[in-house]
Structure 1
């Protein structure tokens, strides 16, 4: 089995995702979705970097002729999941910021009333 620069880069990026997961746990953050995503992506990249023939099996299962197409299909599906998750998270954060702004305005108004 021959390895190329792409395999080495896949392993390095996978290790970066696993390091991110380690940092999330180390900081005590309770964001399990990001932790799980980092673990799955990191582990997957390392696995594919070490065993590049895996995509030949995936291509066969998906009914594709080339493993490059299987890689593109899986990477697009992964990106779709990640982007959908991030959009959902951004929407929830925007709602929280809006709520905080409303509460801050009410507190300022109440503080101004007490100062008068």
Structure 2
């Protein structure tokens, strides 16, 4: 097994994802899904950094000729999952923001009515 600079970078980035997940939990955020995604990506990067030949096995299982194609397939699937999660999260935040704006508008109207009395 030959380790390269890419393995070191993957290890550092994986550790950064794990630290990010730890910091989120320590700060008391309620984003469990984001924590799980962070830990999964970080653990995956660390695993690939330590065992770089794992993609050759994945390429063989998927019936691909090259290890690089297996890396691209796994990367694209991971990005698809993360992007889907983020779009879902953005939609929920947009809905919450709309409700908050409605409530603020109602409170302003009520406050103005009370001032007029």
TM-score by length of structure 1 reads 0.98
C-alpha distance in structure 2 between counterparts of 1:11 and 1:83, whole Å: 23
C-alpha distance in structure 1 between counterparts of 2:51 and 2:43, whole Å: 12
Q: Displacement, 1:31?
A: 1.0
Which residue matches 1:56?
56
Moved over 2 A (4+): none
Task: State the SS of the aligned residue for 2:114.
Answer: helix
C-alpha distance in structure 2 between counterparts of 1:76 and 1:115, whole Å: 57
Which residue matches 1:19?
19
C-alpha distance in structure 2 between counterparts of 1:6 and 1:18, whole Å: 18
Q: Displacement, 1:99?
A: 0.3
Which residue matches 2:43?
43
Q: Displacement, 1:2?
A: 1.1
For structure 2, which runs of at least 5 residues remain unmatched after alignment? none
Q: Displacement, 1:79?
A: 0.2
C-alpha distance in structure 2 between counterparts of 1:9 and 1:91, whole Å: 33
Structure 1 residues 70-104: Cα deviation after superposition (integer angstroms, max 9, x where no partner): 00000000000000100000000000000000000
Which residue matches 1:90?
90
